[in-house]
Structures are given as C-alpha cells and as structure tokens.
Structure 1
C-alpha cells in the first residue's frame, strides 16, 4: 500500500476514534460531564441562548429564544431541584418565533443563592417579580407556566401581579389542600413516624435512590443505565444541602398551601394540566382549582405521572399553544377565528 494512503487512513481512523474514545471515557468515568454536554447540545440545537440578568447584587440565569411578537411572551418556571433545561423537551415542540424565557428559580443552577427567606414560596415570587422587571418582561402581559413548586410560585405570582399576566398554565402544581394524599406525602409521613424527617425521596444520594425518585415522579418507565444514574447523582450531590433547605421552606406553614390561599385572587385565564397517575402531588388538586376558578380549563393526561414535561412534551406544548391561541381569539395556525 502507498505510504501516503496508509498515513491518510491512519489519520482518518484516529480522527474517528478520538470522539468515540472521549464518549466512552465520559460515559464510564465522568457521566456527569456527559449530562452537561447533553444539555448544552440541546440548547444549541433548539436555539436557546443562556443569559444573565443582574439586579442589586443578585444574578438570575435564564435561557431565551425569539423576540416579543404578536403572541404573548412565555415565562416557564421549573420545579423543585430542577433547572431551566428541564423545559427543553417542551421547547422542541413550541413555535420557533415564540418568545420563550426559561429561568433558573432562586438558588437553582445559575441563579444566586442567598438566604432561606428567598426559598419560601412568597420569597420566590418576589425574586421572580424582580427578574421580570429586570428583563422588562412586563412591558406587556405575558403567559406564565409553572410546574410543581414552580406551579405554586406561578399561581401566587398571578394572584399578586394580575396586571402582568395574560394567561396561566399550572402543571401538577404544589401548594394546594388536596382531597386525597399522594404516595409521596404518605412516604414523608412514614419517614417522620420512623424518626427520619430529614430523609426526602426527592433528594437522592445513590443511583438506587435516584432510580426510586424517577419511578416516583414518572409513570413512564425509562430504562436508564447505571452510569447515567450515577452521573445524575454526581451532578446533584454538591447541592443536596441546598435542596434540603429549600424543601423545608416550601413545606412549612407559610408556604405549604400558598397556592390554595391565593387562588381566589387569580383573575387571568387558567389552564391546568395534570398526569392522572401523579404520585407526588395528587391529581385531586385539579378539581380544587376547577371549583375555585370559573372557566378554568383542566386537562388530565392518561398514563402520565408528575413529570408531565418529560413524559408528554409534545402534548404539553400543544395544550399550551392552543390555550394561548384561544385567549387571543385565533386558531392554532394563527388565523382569526370566525364568530
């Protein structure tokens, strides 16, 4: 074989081998790094740009796509111990021209950590209001979406700042007085009786606990390799003390039923999306909201748990867009509805 041809093949083989070896090394040795690369890749693919907003020494981290247009901007609030990238699976199915803003909640990922009062529901509402004003999202009413803890915050925000809100989507929101207790609540009660009130199933420390948490949060069973479970744990472990602090604040007397206590003040159109098999916050809460808010639109999803955003991203995106279109008096294609 010609020496130049041989050298070319060796170079080509080495070029292909290096990414493969890097991937294998990351998978087995640094799975947490692989997870970070995964989120970076999907943000880039979907056109989401990470930005920072500073206000009086406090820094918010958020991702954004698009610019304000004829449709209202959409602000999305994630749940406990998650981050802005949890919305990427839904963003994939939302119109590219829609102005989207996904913010890290107080203390989560890239947003500043300060003190415990900021992690109560009212404290988080105050910080989100600060964020909205800093990025001037309130120049005109926007659509607010929140899931779980973020749903609690979103509902209270809508009650406190009604002029800011075009519409409100609550996905399996926390903060209600539920007619039925969920599996998660029963687990917490059992842990308290056993003398382990600090043990929280939503704060895993091992791959097995991570798998148990995923099974608790999702009705769909994902077959996740042990290495990825380890990576998920490795990413979260340095922040578990913070998650413990946040959890204790959102379940204390001042925050536990914040949405329930404020829902009568919500004046914006409300959409509720809930997985029928939710084991974290019971689906019976949907009826509580429906009874309290005239005209509230409720969508209960079959074979779906608490992680609606991950389990039904396409359906979630469509429901949100149909709801926004309905409030604007247009159909999902953007055309005016005929009266």
Structure 2
C-alpha cells in the first residue's frame, strides 16, 4: 500500500478519535454536558438565535427565528420545569418564513429567578406581558402557543390582553377543573395529605424517578439509557427547590383553575390539541374548553400522552400551521368582502 495513503488513514483516524473519545467521555462522565451541546447544536441547525432583554431589573432569555411579516408572529410558552428548547422538535417542522419566539418562563433557564417574584399564574401572565412589551411583539397581534403550565398562562394571557393576541393554541393546558381523577391526581392528593413535597412525581431527583416521570408524561415508551437519565437529572437537581416552590404556587387555590375562570373572556379563535392518553391532565379538559370558549376547535391525538411536543412534534406543527392558514385565509376573505 502507498505509504502516503497509510499516513492519510492514520491522520484521519487520529482526527476522528478525538471527537469520538470526547463523545464517549461526555456520555459516561458528563452526560449533562452532552445534553447542553445537543440543544446548542439543534438551535444552530434550525437557525435559532439566543437573545436577552430586560424589563427594568428583570431579564428574559429567549430564542427567535425570522422577522415579523404579513403573517402573525408566534410566541411559544413551555411547560413546568422545562425551557425554551423544548419546542425545538416542533420548530423543525414549522415553515422557516414564520417569525417565532420561544421564551424561558419566569425563573426557568436564562430568565431571572427571584425569591420576590410572583410565581402564581397571574404573576407569570404579567411577566410574559412585560416580555412582550420589551421586544415590542404586540405592535401587531400575534399567535400565542402554550403547553401544560405554559398553556395555562397562554389562555389567561389571551383573556387579560385581548388586543395583543390574534389567535391561540393550547396544548394539554393546565388550569381546568377536571372532575376525572386519574392516578396522578390521586397520588398528588395522598402526597398533599402527607406533606411529602419532596416526592412530587414531576420533580425527579434520581434516574429511576426520571424514568417514571417520562412514563407518566408520554404514551410512547422511549428507551432512554441510564447515563442519559442521569444527565437529565443532573441538569434538574440544582433547580428542584425552585420547581417545588413553583409547583405549590400553581396548584394553590389562587392559580389552580384560573384558565377555567377566564376562558369565557377569550374572544380570539382558539385551537386545543390534546393527547387522548394524557395521564397528567385528563383529555376531558378539551371538552370544557370547547364549551367555554366561543370560537374553539379541538384536535385529539390518538396514542399520545401529555408530552405532545415530544411525542408528536410533526403532527403538532402541522396542526398549528393549518390553523394559522385557516385564520389568515378567513381574515383575507373578510377584507375582500
């Protein structure tokens, strides 16, 4: 064999060995680092940029893609203990000409966490309004999307600030008085009676608890390696005290049913997407919204749990785009008439 060819293979092999060894080391020794790199890579691949904006002494962190145009901008609100990057799997299937923004909710990821902050749903709605004003997003009415806790906030936002929003998508939103008590709700009641705040299923502190949370939130059974579960836990553990405080705020009497209390004030066209096999928030909540919001359409997804964004990202994106198109076409026809 040509010695130059052998030399080339040796150099190539050595070059490839470095990233491969780095990957293996990260996976087994620092899986949380690998997770952060993963999010960074997908943000970059999808053309998302990270930005910060201040409202007085409060800082919001958000990602965005595109610029405002003729179509409404999208503002996307994530769920409890998540962050702006949870939308990446959906954004992958959204048209690149849409102007979209994903913000870290109060106290999450890069957004300010303050012991003085009002973490109730009412308080979070007001914070998101401050964010909207800071980036001047409400110069034109925008489409608001929220899932779970973010759906609760999004629905109440549309009721409080009707001129800001032109349409609304709620994905398995919290905030409804659902009479069907599933196993998760029953478990929470037992924990409440025992005052066992450290055992909330949505706040894992071990790989085993993380695996159980994933089973609770999704109908599809993902096979997640133990090392990756450890990485997911490592990322969350420093924030678990905050998550417990937040959870108690959003389930207390002041916040628990705020969406249901305000849903009749929602006047914009509303889309509800819900997984039929949701084990966290029962799918019967979709019927409550359909009856309580004057202009509401419901999409129920088969073989899907609470984590619609993770389980059915392509379908969720397709439904949102179709809904936006129908709203845009209706508005155009109205202008022509």
Taking structure 1 as the reference length, the TM-score comes to 0.95
Query: How has the CA–CA distance of structure 1 residues 335 and 265 changed in structure 2, closer, same or farther, with 3 Å as cutoff?
Result: closer
For structure 1, the residue ranges without an aligned partner over 5 or more in a row are none
Name the CA distance, whole Å, in 1 between partners of 2:292 and 2:72: 25
Aligned residue runs from structure 1 range 19-34, under 5 A = 19-34=19-34
**1:266-303 deviation per Cα after TM superposition (whole angstroms, max 9, x unaligned):** 11111100000001111111111111112310001101
- The answer to whether structure 1 residue 238 and structure 2 residue 238 are counterparts is yes
Name the CA distance, whole Å, in 2 between partners of 1:115 and 1:194: 26
Name the CA distance, whole Å, in 2 between partners of 1:181 and 1:204: 22
**1:37-86 deviation per Cα after TM superposition (whole angstroms, max 9, x unaligned):** 11001000000111111121111000000111111000000000000000
Aligned residue runs from structure 1 range 143-292, under 5 A = 143-292=143-292
Paired residues of 2:219 and 2:304 also in contact (CA < 8 A): yes
Name the CA distance, whole Å, in 2 between partners of 1:257 and 1:22: 48
- The farther-off stretch of 103-112 and 8-17 is 8-17
Paired residues of 1:106 and 1:118 also in contact (CA < 8 A): no
Paired residues of 1:249 and 1:255 also in contact (CA < 8 A): yes
- The answer to whether structure 1 residue 104 and structure 2 residue 104 are counterparts is yes
For structure 2, the residue ranges without an aligned partner over 5 or more in a row are none
Name the CA distance, whole Å, in 2 between partners of 1:117 and 1:104: 15
Name the CA distance, whole Å, in 1 between partners of 2:309 and 2:227: 24
Taking structure 2 as the reference length, the TM-score comes to 0.96
Aligned residues: 337
Name the CA distance, whole Å, in 1 between partners of 2:137 and 2:191: 42
- The answer to whether structure 1 residue 94 and structure 2 residue 94 are counterparts is yes
- Aligned alpha-carbon RMSD (Å): 2.0
